[in-house]
């Protein structure tokens, strides 16, 4: 099987190579097609997201991606925004679940953040009206609202989940979130067997901080989803453990929630768990369900056993030791 690999930059090469080791150890023969993205690509191709990289993903359909930095102040548009828009990866899906052994103040967190990936304030449409005055456009369209809410309900149905919560700020952004809310309510009626509720985004933050356990599937606009994804990662142990997928009707790109972490890059101490779990999501997507489940189990056992863990998980190990432990538990 061919899968495009975007190592990215910062800790990207360290954590993606750990993920490739784990996939191989799980017995899936992946032919990784390496493609450039991030700081290195900006230097070698003059573009942090070269067209050739997008073409490789279009050709092979599935990619595993490390974090990529968009050079700031050089006129480049965000790599992630371009990738998601260019491949129409309209749904970002981030499963957030308490992991036994990872010390957090919360128990029984098991929720999915579904984020609209192509519109909202991250549409990237900004302009200067006059010097000192900038306008950013928040684009909300009916088809995009309907398809992301439908995605959330379809996900809930196939994953056996019971409740979809739509998060918004319709009392302030009456037109844009008003339309989104209207679409959400209409789509919810197509799924009478799944509970639906609506929550203003500020209330959601408060309730997540107090007790995240009742939440199931959350669906929301792009910027809200970006913020809530990081918040939810914090509920279960931080950025180092939460995986993610960017999905469209044709292509799928799997990546961790975290960024390139330049503060710890090149030291071999980054936690590869999030990218390893993203690789497991990728395997599940392509139908390698048994291998995906084995990797998830091996990660859970490793974190519970507590040996070789990286510093962010309270351990004294490094990228290699935790990867070795996960591979060891694959065979258990
Ligand atoms: P971006 O804007 O690209 O999403 P960010 O500003 O959210 O990035 P990150 O690069 O995700 O920042 O890093 C935030 C903090 O979390 C940093 O202190 C970083 O070292 C830490 N961190 C991120 N990922 C990991 C990881 N895999 N292992 C250990 N620490 C990490």
CB of 315 sitting under 6 A from ligand 1: no
Range of the domain at 84: 2-101+236-330
Instruction: Please report whether residue 119 resides in a domain.
Output: no
Q: How far apart are CA 330 and CA 283, in angstroms?
A: 15
94 and 243 in contact (C-beta within 8 Å)? Answer: yes
Task: Name 167's bridge partners.
Answer: 199
Instruction: Please report whether residue 160 resides in a domain.
Output: no
Q: How far apart are CA 235 and CA 102, in angstroms?
A: 10
Q: How far apart are CA 185 and CA 145, in angstroms?
A: 11
**What CATH number corresponds to the domain at position 80?**
3.40.718.10
- What lies within 8 Å, CB to CB, of 209 at 6+ separation is none
Q: What is the pLDDT of residues 82-106, one digit of tens each?
A: 999 899 999 999 999 999 888 899 9
Q: How far apart are CA 69 and CA 78, in angstroms?
A: 8
The pLDDT of residue 76: 83
Q: Which token pair is 215? A: 């939440």
The pLDDT of residue 73: 79
Going from the Cα of 126 to the center of ligand 1, the distance in angstroms, rounded, reads 26
The pLDDT of residue 247: 98
Atom of ligand 1 nearest to the CA of 230: 7
Mutate which of 84, 229, 239 for ligand 1 pocket (most atoms within 8 A of beta carbon): 239
Going from the Cα of 259 to the center of ligand 1, the distance in angstroms, rounded, reads 5
Q: How far apart are CA 5 and CA 105, in angstroms?
A: 35
User: In whole angstroms, how far apart are CA 322 and each of 71, 253, 306, 315?
Assistant: 31, 24, 9, 10
Whether the pTM exceeds 0.85: the reply is yes
Low-confidence ranges of the chain (pLDDT < 50): none
Q: How far apart are CA 259 and CA 68, in angstroms?
A: 7
Instruction: Please report whether residue 134 resides in a domain.
Output: no
164 and 217 in contact (C-beta within 8 Å)? Answer: yes
Catalytic residue IDs: 122, 169, 202, 226
The pLDDT of residue 115: 97
User: In whole angstroms, how far apart are CA 93 and each of 19, 243, 301, 303?
Assistant: 19, 9, 24, 23
The pLDDT of residue 332: 63
Instruction: Please report whether residue 129 resides in a domain.
Output: no
Instruction: Please report whether residue 224 resides in a domain.
Output: no
CB of 16 sitting under 6 A from ligand 1: no
Going from the Cα of 196 to the center of ligand 1, the distance in angstroms, rounded, reads 33
Instruction: Please report whether residue 304 resides in a domain.
Output: yes
Number of domains in the chain: 1
Instruction: Please report whether residue 130 resides in a domain.
Output: no
Instruction: Please report whether residue 63 resides in a domain.
Output: yes
Going from the Cα of 45 to the center of ligand 1, the distance in angstroms, rounded, reads 26
């Amino acid at each position: 099987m061919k899968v495009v690999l975007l190592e990215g930059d910062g800790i990207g090469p360290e954590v993606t190579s750990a993920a490739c080791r784990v996939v191989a150890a799980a017995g899936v023969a992946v032919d990784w097609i390496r493609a450039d993205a991030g700081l290195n690509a900006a230097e070698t191709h003059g573009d942090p997201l070269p067209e050739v990289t997008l073409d490789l993903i279009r050709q092979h359909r599935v990619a595993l991606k490390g974090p990529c930095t968009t050079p700031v102040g050089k006129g480049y548009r965000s790599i992630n925004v371009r990738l998601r828009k260019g491949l129409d990866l309209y749904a970002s899906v981030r499963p957030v679940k308490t992991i036994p052994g990872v010390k957090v103040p919360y128990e029984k967190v098991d929720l999915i953040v579904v984020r609209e990936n192509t519109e909202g304030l991250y549409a990237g449409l900004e302009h200067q009206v006059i010097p000192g005055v900038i306008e950013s456009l928040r684009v909300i369209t009916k088809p995009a609202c309907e398809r992301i809410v439908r995605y959330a309900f379809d996900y809930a149905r196939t994953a056996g989940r019971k409740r979809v919560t739509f998060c918004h700020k319709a009392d302030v952004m009456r037109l844009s979130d008003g339309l989104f809310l209207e679409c959400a309510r209409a789509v919810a009626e197509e799924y009478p067997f799944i509970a639906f509720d609506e929550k203003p985004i500020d209330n959601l933050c408060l309730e997540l901080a107090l007790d995240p356990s009742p939440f199931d599937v959350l669906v929301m606009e792009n910027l809200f989803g970006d913020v809530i994804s990081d918040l939810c990662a914090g509920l279960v142990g931080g950025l180092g453990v939460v995986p993610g997928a960017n999905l469209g009707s044709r292509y799928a790109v799997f990546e961790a929630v975290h960024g390139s972490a330049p503060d710890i890059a090149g030291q071999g101490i980054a936690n590869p768990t999030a990218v390893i779990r993203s690789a497991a999501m990728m395997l599940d997507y392509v139908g390698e369900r048994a291998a995906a489940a084995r990797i998830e189990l091996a990660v859970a056992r490793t974190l519970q056993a507590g040996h070789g863990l990286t510093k962010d998980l309270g351990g004294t190990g490094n990228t290699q030791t935790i990867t070795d432990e996960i591979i060891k538990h694959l065979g258990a």
